[in-house]
Amino acid sequence: MQTIAKLRILADAAKYDASCASSGVKGRDSLGGKGMGSAEGMGICHSYTPDGRCVSLLKILLTNFCIYDCRYCINRKSSNVQRARFTAAEVVALTLDFYRRNCIEGLFLSSGIIQSSNYTMEQLVEVARSLREDHDFRGYIHLKTIPDADPQLLALAGRHADRLSINIELPTSQGLQQLAPEKSASGIASAMGDVARHIDEARQEGQAHAAQKPVSLPGAQRARRARPARYAPGGQSTQMIVGADGASDAVILRTSSALYTGHRLRRVYYSAFSPIPNASADLPLQAPPLIREHRLYQADWLMRFYGFAHEEIIAPGATGMLDLEIDPKLAWALAHRQHFPINLNRAPKEWLLRVPGLGGRSVERLLAARSVRSLRLADLQQLHVASAKVLAFVELADYHPRPGALESAQLREQLIAQMAQGAVQRRHSGMHLTAAGQMALF
Ligand code: SF4
């Protein structure tokens, strides 16, 4: 099979991995010699590096052959899809070729399992090793690792990769047992623990190295100290499939929280289950609404950057599901109105972060502004934070919500209507609501 045909199959097979999700651009291909610049079908996607840069990556599978039969996976052993396989040398050559043409800045490589977990992992490691050692490749490498592989192979993978990821696949071990019985939740947890330990050790060695001051005697040549070996400086991430089993959002967030605290993961990616051809009867016939995935990402953001615990976002005893109509921070604020209004001139940062509509950057701007003057309504306009959501929950030197507005049974519906109206106005005219217009409701 020609390389281009393999690339088409293995780039398409990789698109189900959410950790790097913008693969392909529909509707603008340059096949047939027309136009230029399209990367459609070539597996080029965009991803974000740990320092926030957006980079183009070649996102492919080494192979979509697999000896496992995970029910939710298009590449499972029993799936009737066209198969292809690259050699490690072919992936290296492709990566270098794309890199030299300036199409990519790195590689995202995953694989179905062939022969054994160790054999597959050896191939993935060989790609990364060869790129780094044989070709001095300085671009970004993200390797999906095979959880049952020997820990020594995981250790080697981290030496060459910027980021490693091990898919947890499903939110519970029962779900994994039901839909991917050949995988083991304890094996995945153990591999994540190993990677976390290596990352911590490398970081500590790096810090100790940076803190050491070289001692040299007058006239003596300064001794060179070997830099400690790198290990996945971009940390580790994972992916969880949403909606393939019956796990609620509360269970999903609890699992994510445990991963962030237990294994210090950089990211948990949520991938809404998409129905596959000839699927097992265990699987739902329909995909969950995409907004569910979006709400999970918002809730995840609240846990990582806004100081929320998972059980605050979805209180025990509730439905266990996020509200699809409103974002999780607004849902929390509406359920905890006794904490509001928040005084924007006096509240500590952790409470400002809990105000619906205030993001991390807005909070920083507010803190800077209030350090030099008492904030008034007009200041919010200037700081671009005067949205309907914010004004319902805050007070300022010259502004208080209308008495009874916060307790109103209609507040939720009023805010939903205002947000919808605001979105339409922004879409059609690019105009922002005036503070006076927003205040009218409260
Ligand atoms: S091991 Fe990976 S590629 Fe193989 S069937 Fe399971 S999810 Fe798919």
- Residues 399 and 421 sit within 8 Å (Cβ to Cβ): no
The predicted pLDDT at position 311 comes to 95
3-state secondary structure of 371: coil
Q: Taking the CB of residue 155, how many other CB atoms lie within 10 A of it?
A: 16
- Measured distance CA(191)–CA(71) in Å, rounded: 22
Q: Is the CB of 112 under 6 A from ligand 1?
A: yes
Distance from Cα 65 to the centre of ligand 1, integer Å = 9
Nearest to 94 by CA among 174, 28, 6, 166: 6
Distance from Cα 183 to the centre of ligand 1, integer Å = 9
Q: Is the CB of 147 under 6 A from ligand 1?
A: no
The predicted pLDDT at position 429 comes to 62
Beta bridge partners of 108: 59, 142
> What are the residue ranges of helices labelled H in 33-181?
88-100, 117-129, 151-160, 173-179
Distance from Cα 6 to the centre of ligand 1, integer Å = 18
**Strands 342-343 and 267-272: what pairing?**
unpaired
Distance from Cα 64 to the centre of ligand 1, integer Å = 8
- Residues 441 and 419 sit within 8 Å (Cβ to Cβ): no
- Residues 86 and 63 sit within 8 Å (Cβ to Cβ): yes
The predicted pLDDT at position 431 comes to 43
The predicted pLDDT at position 377 comes to 94
Residue 287, C-beta contacts closer than 8 angstroms, at least 6 positions apart: 243, 272, 273, 274, 275
Nearest to 111 by CA among 82, 84, 89: 84
Rounded average pLDDT per 10-residue block, the chain, 442 residues: 87 75 41 49 64 80 96 92 96 95 92 96 98 96 92 95 95 95 94 95 88 68 72 95 95 97 95 85 90 97 97 88 96 96 98 97 96 95 87 96 95 93 71 36 27
Q: How far is CA 361 from CA 357, 364, 437, in A?
A: 11, 5, 24
Q: Taking the CB of residue 4, how many other CB atoms lie within 10 A of it?
A: 9
3-state secondary structure of 272: strand
Q: Is the CB of 71 under 6 A from ligand 1?
A: no
> What are the residue ranges of helices labelled H in 212-289?
249-262
Nearest Cα residue to atom 1 of ligand 1:
68
**Strands 54-61 and 44-48: what pairing?**
antiparallel
Q: Is the CB of 73 under 6 A from ligand 1?
A: yes
Q: Taking the CB of residue 347, how many other CB atoms lie within 10 A of it?
A: 20
Question: From the centroid of its chain, how far is CA 390?
Answer: 26
Q: Diameter of the chain by CA atoms? A: 80
Q: Which atom of ligand 1 is nearest to the CA of 111?
A: 3
Distance from Cα 276 to the centre of ligand 1, integer Å = 13
- Burial class from Cβ neighbours inside 10 Å (0-12, 13-18, 19+) for residue 366 reads buried
- Residues 329 and 298 sit within 8 Å (Cβ to Cβ): yes
The predicted pLDDT at position 19 comes to 61
Q: Is the CB of 65 under 6 A from ligand 1?
A: no
For residue 341, cis peptide bond before it (omega within 30 degrees of 0)? yes
Q: Is the CB of 188 under 6 A from ligand 1?
A: no
Distance from Cα 186 to the centre of ligand 1, integer Å = 17
Query: Which pTM does this prediction carry?
Result: 0.85
Q: Is the CB of 20 under 6 A from ligand 1?
A: no
- Measured distance CA(29)–CA(33) in Å, rounded: 10
- Residues 147 and 195 sit within 8 Å (Cβ to Cβ): no
Distance from Cα 173 to the centre of ligand 1, integer Å = 16
Using the Cα atoms of residue 387, residue 390, residue 393 and residue 394 in order, give the sign of their dihedral: negative
Q: Is the CB of 95 under 6 A from ligand 1?
A: no
Q: Is the CB of 70 under 6 A from ligand 1?
A: yes
Amino acid identity of residue 5, one-letter, is A
- Residues 299 and 328 sit within 8 Å (Cβ to Cβ): yes
